[in-house]
Chains A and B, each alone.
Chain A
Amino acid sequence: MADGVKPRVKVPKSASAGEAITLKTLISHPMESGQRKDGDGNVIPRSIINRFTCEFNGESVIDVTMEPAISTNPYFEFEATVPEAGEFKFTWYDDDGSVYEETKAIAIG
C-alpha cells in the first residue's frame, strides 16, 4: 500500500429528491506511471490506482477505469441524481490490491 493515501470527497449534506448534485473527489496517491526513472536509470515500477467507482445505495453512478496518464492525486468531478436519502460509497482500487473506501450520507430536505 502506498503511504499516506487519503481520500477526500465533497458531497452536499442535503438535496431535494431527484435533484442533480455535483460530487468532487480527490485521493492523495503518487500514481507512479511506470515511465519514470530513478537517479540510477532504473525504471520505477508502475503503481497507480486503476479503478474508481461511486455508488449510491448500491446503484452505480460512475465507474472509471484509470490508466497511468491520470495525474498524481487523482481528481474526479461528476454529477449524480439523488432519488432518496442514503449513502454515497466511493471506492478506489490500487494496483497492489489495496482498496480505499469512503462513504458520505446525504439527507433529503
Chain B
Amino acid sequence: MEFTRRETLAVGGAAALVAMLPKGAYAATTEEWIAEFTGGADMADAGIDLTAPEIAENGNTVPIEVSAEGASEILVLATGNPTPGVATFKFGPLAASQYASTRIRLAGTQEVVAIAKLADGSFAKASKTVKVTIGGCGG
C-alpha cells in the first residue's frame, strides 16, 4: 500500500488530533476548577491567608500554608501547572483551626491561588506569585 504525499499528511494530521484529544479532556483549566468549587459565586479578598515563599529554589517541594477562620473547605490551585489542582482541605468538627500546611510541586514561576468556602457560604480568595528557579514537573 502506497501513500501519496497528500494522503500521508492527512493520516498524520488525524493521528496527531486523536493523540491530543485525551489531554484536552483531562486538563481542566483553573477557571473550571474555580467554577466547580464556587458555583460561580463572587469571591471576597479578605478572610483567607495564603503563605508561600516569594522565591522557591526547588519547584519539587514548595512549602505553603493556608488558613481561613471558620472555613469548611479550602481549595488550592497552581495556575501554571499542567493540571492546576493541588489539594482540597475539608475541615471537620474537631479541627482546632482552619489551618493546614503542606508541600507542593510547581512547574515554574506562577501564581498560587487558595479559595476558602466560609461558614456563611461565601467564598474568599487569596493568591500569591511564587518565583521558581527549578521546575518540579520532571521533563
Contacts and interface: CB of A to CB of B under 8 A. Distances in A.
Nearest to A67: B85
B61 A72 contact: yes
A71 B137 contact: no
B86 A69 contact: yes
Interface stretch (B13-21, B98-106, B116-124, B126-134): B98-106
Interface in A62-107: 62-72, 74-81, 83
A75 B139 contact: no
Interface of A: 20-21, 33, 35-37, 55-56, 59-72, 74-81, 83
Interface residues of B, number: 32
A36 B92 contact: no
Interface of B: 60-62, 78, 81-83, 85-97, 99-106, 136-139
Contact of B95 (A70, A76, A81): A81
Nearest to B89: A64
Contacts of A75: 101-103
Contacts of A56: 94
Given A35-B137, A69-B83, A72-B61, A78 B100 contact: yes
A70 B96 contact: no
Contacts of A36: 137-139
Nearest to B92: A60
Nearest to B104: A69
A61 B93 CA distance: 6
Residue with the greatest number of chain B CB neighbours at <10 A, chosen from A63, A64, A67:
A67
